[in-house]
Amino acid sequence: MNTYECKTDIIDINERKQLLSEVMDCDFHTYTTDKGTNTQLHVVSTPSGLPLSGLVENIIKKVNPKLNFFAAICLKFPPDVGLFIHTDDHPGRATCITWPLQPELKDYTPVKYYNSSEEYIETVHYGEMPLILNTTLNHSVPNNESEKDRICFQLCFYDPIETLAELDERGELFI
């Protein structure tokens, strides 16, 4: 399973705006892969830069505590920046629940998935509900064509996507 769109949400529109405002004040750093590749992707995460308090803490507390939580992360793609075909290099990012914060959904860059030979499989667009991503499979993000930074908020887990999807189907992902 590449992605799963949640049936429920724990962040309302006002909280998304508040989260975006709080994130803009954080100290993002450019992410470099374990192999030394500079990605031009800007990241802030708990506990190093994204405060593990207030709204972020409340959001984390709304997720089923049986899951093996890794971190809350915000990713920022400046205009004309994307991310090459890859799998995430940390086991704590096996699965991420993702909320797009900026720009508007109509301008929000999708995620593309590929097979093990890096042949294109599908493009997944974000909707109103959170999207759970399987980051252990080959995926990429095309260049951000918006004039605004592409910013998303993610809760990252060691658990496989099937576990989170099953919990959501039973109404137990968010508490």
Q: Report the C-alpha gap between 148 and 24 in whole angstroms.
A: 12
CB 155 within 8 A of CB 72: yes
Q: Tens of pLDDT along 16-57?
A: 999 999 888 888 888 877 777 777 778 887 776 777 778 999
Tokens 């089923």 label which residue? 64
E strands, the chain, where? 3-5, 29-32, 38-45, 69-77, 83-86, 95-102, 111-114, 120-124, 131-134, 139-141, 150-157
Contact 37, 85 (CB under 8 A): no
> Where in the chain are the domains?
3-169
CATH 2.60.120.620 fits 3-169, yes or no: yes
Task: Please give the pLDDT value at position 24.
Answer: 87
CA distance 173 to 66: 9
Q: What is the pLDDT along the chain (175 residues), one digit of tens a residue?
A: 999 999 999 999 999 999 999 888 888 888 877 777 777 778 887 776 777 778 999 999 999 999 999 999 999 999 999 999 999 888 999 999 999 999 999 999 999 999 999 999 999 999 999 999 999 999 999 999 999 999 999 999 999 999 999 999 999 999 9
Percent above pLDDT 70 for the chain = 99
